[in-house]
Structures are given as structure tokens and as C-alpha cells.
């Protein structure tokens, strides 16, 4: 048991020594590319060893599971700068079935390390239903501007005309009231008013002394 534990400890230390010099660089999480366009996926790492690199694609099945498979590396390109190695996977014309998660598998002796990976999403662009020229587009934009201007001016003009008619009616009403009062003579109104006042003060019966001398009272 002691010998087995000792060997196991040496293996752990050997793996730890290998991994201590390994640094995985950040991968681009998502790469969206239109159908039939070019695409490039890269995985970068810093390691003093020279591992064998294999590209792996993880395709999601309809039941939710993923199925890894090896990618054809005929287009794999290696770049190195400041001790950082990058493997580039180039697609000249992507297809819909190229969609999936791409990872680099680093193999060194019995050690297998996977990079973070980049998900390649291939989409089909929407096709134009109308192929309009620039002159037609400009004409449509001009027509829309004219319609918008009419929608703004017509209601405003109607409100102004309505407000103007109301002002004219109020002005005519005020002029008619002034004409009614202009036909009245204030002196005649004052004299008529004084006559009404005197008649109210005298009452319905006249004084006997003012009735004349021809009226005689009957004797009892």
C-alpha cells in the first residue's frame, strides 16, 4: 500500500507540474455567421509543452444530449505570439449543420485538456420580399412626409376656422346688444320713470278738494 501511495503521489505531482505551466486563454463564446459566409474559430493557450491538438464539435441532438465528433483539421492554422499558441479553424462557406460548440482537445501523454470552446451559430438571412430601387425608396419617403404633413395641417386648420367662427359670432352678438341700447333716449326714460313715481305716490283716489266744485255730497 505504501508503494502504491508513493507512486500515486508521484503521478499527481507530475500532473500538477504539467498543469502548472498551462494557461488557457479566453475563447470567444459565440460566433454568428450567415449561411455560405466565411468563419474562423480559434483556441489559444500558453503551455511549455507541445501537445497534439484535435478540434472537437459538440452537436446537440433533438433529445437534449450532445454528441462530440472530430472535426476535419485540413484547414487548421497555428499562430504563435509571445508564447501564446492559437489554433485557427477556418470555414470558407459555412452550412447549417456546422452549428455547434467547437473545442480544442489538448493531448500530451495521458493528459487530455479541453478548451472553453466557441459556439458557432449559422443562420439563414431573411430574403427581401421587394427589390426596390433607390429612386422608388426616395419617392415613398417623400410621399410619407407629405401625408404626415397633411395629417398635421388639416386638423389644425379646421380648429383655427372653428375658433374664428366662434369669435365672429360673439362679436356680432355684442354689436346687436349695443344697437339695442343705442335706440333708447335716457331723458325719455327718466321722465317716464318720474311719472310712474308720482302716480304711485298719489294712489288710486284723488283728494276730495281737488275733484271740482260741481260734486256735492249727499246728505244722510
Residue 212 confidence (pLDDT) = 47
Within 10 A of 41 (CB to CB), how many other CB atoms are there? Answer: 23
Report which of residues 132 and 52 the model is more confident about: 52
pTM exceeds 0.75: no
Rounded to whole angstroms, the Cα distance separating 90 from 40 reads 5
pLDDT in tens, 152-194: 888 878 888 888 888 888 877 777 666 665 555 555 555 655 6
Rounded to whole angstroms, the Cα distance separating 31 from 118 reads 7
Q: Compute the CA torsion angle 151, 154, 157, 161 (nearest 10 deg).
A: -140
Rounded to whole angstroms, the Cα distance separating 62 from 119 reads 17
Residue 82 confidence (pLDDT) = 81
Angle CA 194–200–204, to nearest 5: 135
- Boundaries of every domain in the chain: 24-123, 129-175
Q: Which residues contact 103 (CB under 8 A, 6 or more apart)?
A: 43, 55, 56, 57, 58, 114, 115, 116, 117
Rounded to whole angstroms, the Cα distance separating 42 from 76 reads 9
Among the CATH numbers 3.10.20.30, 2.60.40.10, 3.40.50.360, 2.60.120.10, which is that of 24-123? 2.60.40.10
The three-class DSSP label of residue 114 is: strand
Residue 13 predicted with pLDDT over 50: no
Question: What's the chain's average pLDDT?
Answer: 75
Q: CB–CB of 56/145 below 8 Å?
A: no
Instruction: Mark out the alpha helices in 21-133 (DSSP H runs).
Output: none
Residue with cell string 466565411: 38
E strands, 99-210, are 100-108, 111-114, 118-123
pLDDT band at 66 (very low <50, low <70, confident <90, very high): confident
In our burial notation (b when 16+ CB lie closer than 10 A, e otherwise), range 144-174 reads eeeeeeeeeeeeeeeeeeeeeeeeeeeeeee
Amino acid at each position: 500500500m505504501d508503494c502504491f501511495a508513493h507512486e500515486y503521489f508521484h503521478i499527481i505531482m507530475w500532473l500538477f507540474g504539467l498543469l502548472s505551466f498551462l494557461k488557457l486563454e479566453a475563447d470567444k463564446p459565440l460566433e454568428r455567421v450567415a449561411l455560405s459566409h466565411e468563419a474562423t474559430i480559434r483556441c489559444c493557450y500558453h503551455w511549455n509543452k507541445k501537445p497534439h491538438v484535435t478540434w472537437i464539435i459538440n452537436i446537440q441532438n433533438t433529445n437534449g444530449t450532445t454528441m462530440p465528433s472530430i472535426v476535419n483539421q485540413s484547414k487548421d492554422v497555428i499562430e504563435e505570439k509571445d508564447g501564446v499558441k492559437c489554433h485557427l479553424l477556418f470555414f470558407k462557406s459555412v452550412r447549417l449543420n456546422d452549428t455547434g460548440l467547437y473545442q480544442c482537445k489538448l493531448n500530451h501523454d495521458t493528459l487530455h485538456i479541453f478548451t472553453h470552446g466557441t459556439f458557432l451559430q449559422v443562420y439563414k438571412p431573411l430574403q427581401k420580399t421587394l427589390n426596390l430601387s433607390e429612386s422608388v425608396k426616395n419617392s415613398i419617403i417623400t410621399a410619407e412626409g407629405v401625408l404626415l404633413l397633411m395629417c398635421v395641417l388639416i386638423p389644425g386648420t379646421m380648429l383655427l376656422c372653428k375658433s374664428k367662427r366662434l369669435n365672429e359670432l360673439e362679436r356680432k352678438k355684442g354689436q346687436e346688444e349695443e344697437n339695442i341700447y343705442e335706440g333708447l333716449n335716457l331723458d325719455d326714460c327718466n321722465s317716464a320713470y318720474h311719472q310712474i313715481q308720482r302716480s304711485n305716490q298719489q294712489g288710486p283716489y284723488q283728494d276730495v278738494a281737488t275733484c271740482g266744485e260741481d260734486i256735492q255730497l249727499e246728505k244722510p
